[in-house]
Amino acid sequence: MPSLLQMILPPNLTTSTMMTSSSSESYDADNPILPPEPILGDYVEMFTLVLNFIVSAPLNLAAYTQ
């Protein structure tokens, strides 16, 4: 019995290489790849974006109302 993905996609698309990857790894529909785990840089980026919003939103509002 084919998997749901194999029934939906044409046979030539069930296993394809990643377009942006330079490696020759292919995607296997029967064994999906887990997403990468967040690294410290991701948390630093999220903290920076939230901090920028917390600081800039009131400053922008104060400058706009002057």
What predicted TM-score, i.e. pTM, was given to this entire model? 0.43
Which one is predicted more confidently, 1 or 53? 53
Q: Would you state the pLDDT for residue 18?
A: 46
Q: Using alpha carbons, list the distances in angstroms from residue 39 to 13, 20, 36, 45, 52.
A: 31, 21, 9, 10, 20
12-32 pLDDT, tens per residue? 654 554 455 555 556 666 777
**Regarding predicted confidence, which is higher, 1 or 52?**
52
Tens-place pLDDT, residues 22-65: 555 566 667 778 878 889 999 999 999 999 999 999 999 999 88
